[in-house]
Amino acid sequence: LVDELKKLGYEPIDVGPKKLDPADDYPDYAKPVAKAVSSGEVQRGVLTCGTGLGMSYAANRFPKVRAALAWNEQIAELSRHHGNSNLLVLPAQFVSEEQGVNILHKWLETEFEGGRHQRRIEKIEK
């Protein structure tokens, strides 16, 4: 995904890991990305792990982070269109590399609808 983001003109910050280690703890990777999104250092982030669940749990603990676990393009699109998600989580055990790239593209190209959805986000952030 890092290479794909570079091809699209983004400057991704890769927080790792560089290789699979079953002893890794997902919060160690979710926190720096979620913190960067929460603080406004970056506008969006992308995380991936086996199921995506742990990354989602950890990331959504940060203020102003709306991490969306997306296993297909439609979920990614709706997470942006309705929820203005700012952090994409991909479940690597359930999507192929090609699917992951397609999901990423859909998420990046989808704009937030606003309107009633903005009101709902404001209620969440209170």
Q: Which residues are catalytic?
A: 49, 82
Calpha distance 30→40 (Å, rounded): 16
Calpha distance 69→71 (Å, rounded): 7
Total number of residues shown for the chain: 126
- Helix (H) / strand (E) element for 93: namely none
**Which among 106, 43, 112, 61 is positioned nearest to 82, based on CA atoms?**
112
The residue written with tokens 């090609």 in the block is 98
Calpha distance 89→32 (Å, rounded): 14
